[in-house]
Amino acid sequence: MLRQFESSDDIVQSEDMKHRRALVDVVTWTLVALTVAAVTMHILGMWVAKSSLVGLSAVVGAALGFGAQRVVQDLLAGFFIIAEHQYGYGDVVNLSVTGGLEAEGTVEDVTLRVTRLRNTDGELLIVPNGQMIKAANLSKDWARSVVDVPVPLDADINEVNTVLREVGQTFYDNPRWNRLLLDAPTPLGITNLELDSATVRMVARTLPGQQFEIGRALRGDIIYGLARHGIFVQSVQQQSAVKTAGDEAAQTGGGVSDEH
């Protein structure tokens, strides 16, 4: 286990490094803001009388109170995101945003005001921190890869589970994948029943952010392992075709047997 975490250094940045990077950005922008404010006040003090400066400060304060509420909300939310280590640079996150929208991707930057994500399509998503309702960190400490395997109803489920355990252990023993796994992939049993298939779920704990790569590789090994025992995974097209045929038969009053 210790070896696995040591070898993960080249894969996932440490939590301390992520937090340190975020703090550097916050301190930098805070210093810039304070410098700009100080210079502005100095210039105003040189050209505006002190009595007028008091009135101007009141006007500016009122404007900020009414017009910059959202900005203040973003800044406060960003402060707590960084202070509480909710996520940082390099994390894979799913953000629920006001209005029912979702943003998912890899964190490229976290500032006091916004979070920048890069999604799987290569798009850069900029999300104001104050607009977030929920943040799901998919790469915090460890992650779970979930693979659902649809098999025919007439398949022996005990045999399916046995094959999946063998596939999981072989997969775990592979040096290529062992360094990304915290334990061997294991079947959980049937999680769903359809008209013509039963879904068996397989799970594996992985290093942060590696659940997607593990899931893709594990699916291929599962298909091959089951096929060697004469068990073939049901495709979405096959399930849809059988369901459609069943619906049509019900509408016509029972199908082939009613024609005789």
Q: What CATH number did the domain enclosing 158 receive?
A: 3.30.70.100
pLDDT digits (tens, 9 = 90+) for 132-158: 999 999 877 888 899 999 999 999 999
pLDDT at 187: 96
Residue 76 above 80 pLDDT?
yes
Predicted TM-score (pTM) of the model is: 0.58
259 located within any domain: no
User: Cβ distance 87 to 141 under 8 Å?
Assistant: no
Per DSSP, the chain holds a count of helices (H) and strands (E) of 8, 8
Burial class (CB in 10 A: 0-12, 13-18, 19+), 26: middle
Q: Return the pLDDT at 97.
A: 92
Q: Is 212 a member of any domain?
A: yes
- pLDDT value of position 18: 59
Report the C-alpha gap between 74 and 76 in whole angstroms: 6
**Which CATH number covers residue 77?**
2.30.30.60
Residues 109 and 204 in one domain: no
Distance of CA 140 to the CA centre of its chain: 10
Write down the pLDDT at residue 69: 75
Does a structural domain hold residue 252? no
Domain total of the chain: 2
Segments of 9-131 assigned E as strands? 92-97, 101-110, 114-118, 124-128
Higher pLDDT, residue 22 or 73: 73
Residues 212, 94 share a domain: no
pLDDT band at 16 (very low <50, low <70, confident <90, very high): low
Asked if 149 and 196 touch (Cβ cutoff 8 Å), the reply is no
Domain boundary among 108, 137, 166: 137
258: in domain? no
CB proximity list for 234: less than 8 A, separation 6 or greater: 150, 151, 152, 196, 197
Shared domain check, 165 and 68: no
Question: How many residues are given for the chain?
Answer: 260
172-210 confidence digits (pLDDT tens)? 999 999 999 999 999 999 999 988 889 999 999 998 888
Q: What pLDDT score does 5 carry? A: 43
Secondary structure class of 36 (helix, strand, coil): helix
